[in-house]
Amino acid sequence: MDTEGIAVDALKREMYHNPLLKSYDINENDKTPSWDGEIFVYHQLGKNKSYRKSDIEGRVPIQVKGREVKSMRKDSIKHLFYRDDLNNYYKDGGVIFFVVEFTAPLNTEIYYISLLPFDLKQILNDMKPKKSISYELAPLPNEKQSLTTLCKMFLINRRKQPYDIIDKITISNDVKADCLRFVIPTNVTSQNVFLNYDIYMYQSADLKIGETTTSIDVPVQKAKVTSLIENTDVTIGIDEREIYTDVSRIIEKNRRILRFGRSFRLYLKDLQGVEAPKVHINFKENGTFWERFKDCKFMLCMLKQKKLEINGQILEINYDNTELIENLPEHINYLRETVRVFEKLNAPFDVSIDEISLEDYRRIEALKQLFLKNNCSIINVQDDGFIKMNIANKNFLLFAYYDNNQEITVLNGCDWKTINKHVNFFASKDDSEQKNIVSHYVGHKVDELFAMDNFNLKDAKNSYLSIDYNSEASLNQTNLHLIEFITYYDQQTNKNKHILLMLEEVFQYIRSFKYDDNSIYINQMQVIKRRRSFTSDEEKEILYRKNNTTDKFILCGYLLLLNSKIEFDVYFDKLTLEEKKLFKDFPIYNLA
């Protein structure tokens, strides 16, 4: 049997369905060295479907082998390649190698491997002294004009992999994912290309040619895409309620999957050609406590009603699990309580359950006892004070105190309203009748506050705005505490502008008690300077205050606000060593 002739005939039949391809001579005698011919690729056909020279996009060198088999296989096959052939392909810029398996002349399956200089250089390096190597060939995709797409992919990538360049460069393992690029032909479906063909990834590299250094794209990786994920406008719900609006579609070769929540996969191949389809759903609980709570509630509702809604269309579900229906309510209640306890701490617990240890679970149960069941007897503290609790690398600030009946109460340490109902915090011990009340946050270092997951700036701001600053002790301690916020802000890499907005409002409030205080005013202005330029009126007031102060320490602050660096250096030099050291410790010095 003429195996090579059958193979070439199979390839020609495939080309018949690919009108933009033309081969004028493919050898069938298996005696030509390395190549059997080439396929011409055209941009378009001329009048009367003619092939014109001006429409040639390029030519693809090919080699065709035939192999008779007893039965057809749909998966990949292997073929032996010889070093001499691979060297020839490498220097020529690549080849598409076909192997056609058949049980009869008209019962054939075409397999291929597209070998470009990037591939061939790696293969030859892997071979070392060996004379041959076995490589895997994939079946030709069965969609329309797959051979055309294959040839166009070969040509467009071949142009980016010239032999004389590839042979000189060293293929780098330093692949920067955010710098990778790829190319695909025009007039093809990108989704089809990604899922059916190898994708060459390129990144920029400097190449020295003579005295000139040129930046070019070089291949660094060959990728095989198994699935694509895309956002959709699909909604999933039940009882005319949209529950999930963030639905993504996973596209694979032979199926489509809708992914919603953290636990659901809906397989769409069950919907094809069915008037009232039953949808197959895969449910595997995943995610955080909140995500699992939402998914489990939805799952229980679906199981009971045996339906769901996709974009408002009611679909029956094919999922029967009596045991799950019986066990879910108790599990949902457990998840609900866990979500509630973190809501009481005003701290969304966005940690996947898979990352939580047994000790973390014990601490979560302790929080439930404290905040949901008012059972504070489970903890033992000697005095009133703050408690820091760590759960799965999340930090929470609590406050425990003994009431008049000597019973312990535990509160959210970052909830000033609740704490303020039970206890007051004072700036200093004072035998006078005046109470120097301060925010409970003043006793904490600012960087430690931001390390607490239940800390939020709004609560802190409201606590500072609730204080009477007619007390000198309250004002001074709060002022020093707020300066810590400025220092913290300056140390941030990603600046949190909300810190500045909070500080500006609080300093403005404090100034309503002591308008002429230069220290408070400078601190408010240095906050504003970090956020925006001064208005004309603000500059005038800064100048006025600067010209009317005799305190060199304060004067240095005003000079920095005005960007008067030379004058600042003069007056800063007049400060004592102790004053200089103190000034440098304040964040105003960061403006120098």
What six digits make up the tokens of 66? Answer: 């035939």
d(CA 90, CA 125): 12
Q: Please report the pLDDT score of residue 454 as a whole number.
A: 96
Q: Please report the pLDDT score of residue 273 as a whole number.
A: 45
What six digits make up the tokens of 339? Answer: 């979500």
CA–CA distances in Å: residue 480 to residues 468, 473, 487, 585: 16, 11, 11, 12
Quick one: angle between helices 552-561 and 536-547, nearest 10? 160
- Residue-wise DSSP of 389-409: EEETTEEEEEEEEE-TTS-EE
d(CA 345, CA 372): 11
> Letter for the amino acid at 218?
V
d(CA 465, CA 455): 17
**Selection from 360, 267, 273 nearest residue 318 by Cα:** 267
**Selection from 377, 288, 389 nearest residue 339 by Cα:** 288
Find the Cα–Cα–Cα–Cα dihedral 26, 30, 33, 38, rounded to 10°: 20
What six digits make up the tokens of 188? Answer: 């093809």
**Helices marked H in 356-496:** 358-371, 416-422, 446-450, 457-464, 472-491
d(CA 153, CA 187): 12
Quick one: angle between helices 497-511 and 518-531, nearest 10? 150
Residues 6+ apart with CB under 8 A from 426: 435, 436, 437, 438
Find the Cα–Cα–Cα–Cα dihedral 24, 25, 28, 29, rounded to 10°: 170
Residues 6+ apart with CB under 8 A from 244: 235, 236, 237, 260, 261, 298
- Burial (CB count <10 Å: 0-12, 13-18, 19+), residue 254: exposed
Tell me the HSE value of 30 on the side-chain side, using a 13 A CA sphere. 13
Chain centre to alpha carbon of residue 568: 46
Quick one: angle between helices 457-464 and 497-511, nearest 10? 10
CA–CA distances in Å: residue 3 to residues 25, 222, 322, 473: 17, 32, 59, 99
Record the pTM.
0.75
Residue 527 sits at the vertex; the CA angle it makes with 522 and 532, to the nearest 5 degrees, is 120
Residue 67 sits at the vertex; the CA angle it makes with 124 and 40, to the nearest 5 degrees, is 65
d(CA 272, CA 278): 10
What six digits make up the tokens of 198? Answer: 């190898």
Q: What is the pLDDT along the chain (592 residues), one digit of tens a residue?
A: 689 999 999 999 999 999 999 998 887 766 778 899 999 999 998 888 889 999 999 999 999 999 999 998 778 999 999 999 999 999 999 999 999 999 999 999 999 999 999 999 999 998 888 999 999 999 999 888 999 999 999 999 999 999 988 887 776 666 777 788 999 998 888 888 999 999 999 988 887 767 777 888 889 889 989 999 999 999 999 999 999 999 999 998 878 899 999 999 998 764 444 444 556 888 999 999 999 999 999 999 998 898 899 999 988 887 777 888 889 999 999 999 999 999 999 998 999 999 999 999 999 999 999 999 999 888 887 788 999 999 999 999 999 998 888 889 999 999 999 999 999 998 875 555 567 899 999 999 999 999 999 999 999 999 999 999 998 999 999 999 999 999 999 999 999 999 999 999 999 999 999 999 999 999 999 999 999 999 999 999 999 999 999 999 999 999 999 999 999 999 999 999 999 999 999 999 999 8
